[in-house]
Structure 1
Amino acid sequence: MPDHRRIHLLGCGVGAGIAAVFNAPLGGWFLAMEVIVPDWRPWTVLSTLVATASASWVTQEGSEAPISSRMPPSPIGMAAS
């Protein structure tokens, strides 16, 4: 496999991982495009965006409850109320 394809797939994987773990598809996309992938070809931009958006969607649809309701209450939020 050529190096540019390998880097492209690595960028898709890194972006999708960030999007799934932190529920931040655009954050994962920006990280992948700025840090991992060195070029801004339309195919690279689109495929990385699709990978991050689909990873975030799968995470949201696969969980039993929204991520915000699974987290314990924050001590900062409790102090404000």
Structure 2
Amino acid sequence: MMENDTPKYINNTQIENVGSYFYLGQRCSSRDKNQDKEIQRRITAGWTGFANHRDIFKGNIGTCLKRQVYNSCVLPAMTHGAET
């Protein structure tokens, strides 16, 4: 058994050992040093945010308003993992 696999306790309660978790919208992993999964998750979140607002982006409204929607709904999903 490796040192990292040793059970940890707080107030006599065993803390679960997980391979990865989300913190402030970013996937963190103690085992996987490769960031490919996090990058793919952010790309998917961005495309999902874009698809959720496709009617706005394809609509007959000004570029300025489209940019505001993109900046407030798509970019946060890509950078912070926020849901739109």
TM-score with structure 1 setting the length: 0.32
Which structure shows the bigger proportion of residues in strand conformation?
Answer: 2
Higher share in helix: 1
Name the larger-Rg structure.
2
